[in-house]
Amino acid sequence: MTRCDVLVAGEYFCDLVFAGLDGAPRMGTEHMAEDLAIMPGGTYTMALALTRLGVATRWANTFGNDLFSRYVRDMAAADGIDGSAFTLVDRPVQRVSVAYAAGGERGFISFSRPAVTPPAPALYQTIDNSWLLQTFRFEPDWIDFVAAQRARGAKVLLDCRGGDFDLDTAGVETLIRKADIFSPNAEEALRLTGAGSIDEAGTRLARLAPTIVIKCGEAGAEVFGASSRFSIPSPRVSVVDTVGAGDSFNAGLLLGLVRGSRLDEAVQLAVFCGALSTTATGGRACPTAEALDAFRHQLAATRPDLVVNH
């Protein structure tokens, strides 16, 4: 049995990001980009953010024999992500997303095959994890996986994602009810609930899960619970890129909880971690534990009003 703080469950992606296009792509035309970046994506960023913070993490993900799988596996090794929970299969497992930007707008073309399935019991039953960081998949097999994790004693931090679904979609409410903490961003919370405000959305969601932490970008975070309701403001930083900020937020939250911090302290670490991650380019800009602690101490000296007292 392998002991760890967090098990991350979900698929990898290989992201190809074209920047500075001379026009919006359309059929029958060719456009030249000014820059191209290739980087791992999907739940890779979750695993990386936790690893950089020093949280003992296993990433349960399936890789194939294709070049995209090989690239992301090589990057994981270089970034120090523990690969003991990887499943390797002798066939292609291709998950690719092409992102392009032109005129201040973004577009995406993605490919993912085969279907994403949860970790097999033979794998996760060998891992004794305190927390599960779970992607927002509400298919029956994923709900069964989350239920099995809870039955084994793990707590669940449930992230969210964009998509054409809401609380009335089959499986969505069932999945949220299995979370100890549900952490959508503001747009996702409003879309899921159909609410007209964050307060209304948080109140509705708090009927489903014990703790709701809504990521509000530069406004910080709003927290809703059965007996608590509070806000954590975000410090001002020079934003370069917001990609991966939500993953860094989740990692900071889990760092605080693993350390035994109070909920308000853990959410503050989450807000600081998310803010720091926006000061560099791409989803791989998540900070280390040392950088996060230094940032907190700096704010304690310069902006004590932003720092929760221990």
User: Could you give the residue ranges of the DSSP H alpha helices within 131-236?
Assistant: 140-151, 172-177, 186-193, 198-205
User: Could you give the residue ranges of the DSSP H alpha helices within 236-280?
Assistant: 245-259, 263-277
pLDDT at residue 307, as a whole number: 83
pLDDT at residue 239, as a whole number: 85
Instruction: For residue 160, give the nearest of 261, 284, 10 by alpha carbon.
Output: 10
Phi, psi of 265 (to 5 degrees): -65, -40
φ/ψ region of 198 (left if φ > 0, alpha if ψ in -120 to 50, else beta) reads alpha
For the chain, what are the domain ranges?
A: 2-12+42-94+116-304
Q: Which residue has the tokens 């907190």?
A: 296
pLDDT at residue 309, as a whole number: 65
pLDDT at residue 135, as a whole number: 85
User: Quick one: fold of 2-12+42-94+116-304?
Assistant: UDP-N-acetylmuramoyl-L-alanine:D-glutamate ligase (3.40.1190)
User: Could you give the residue ranges of the DSSP H alpha helices within the chain?
Assistant: 44-52, 67-78, 121-124, 140-151, 172-177, 186-193, 198-205, 245-259, 263-277, 289-302
Q: How far is residue 255's CA from residue 288's CA, in Å, rounded to a whole number?
A: 11
Tell me how crowded residue 256 is: count the other CB atoms within 10 A of its CB: 22
pLDDT at residue 265, as a whole number: 94
For the chain of 310 residues, list the mean pLDDT of each consecutive stretch of 10.
Answer: 93 90 80 88 94 96 97 96 96 94 76 95 93 94 97 96 94 98 97 97 96 95 90 90 88 96 95 91 80 89 78
pLDDT at residue 174, as a whole number: 98
pLDDT at residue 243, as a whole number: 79
Residue 25, preceding peptide bond in cis (omega within 30° of 0): no
pLDDT at residue 26, as a whole number: 81
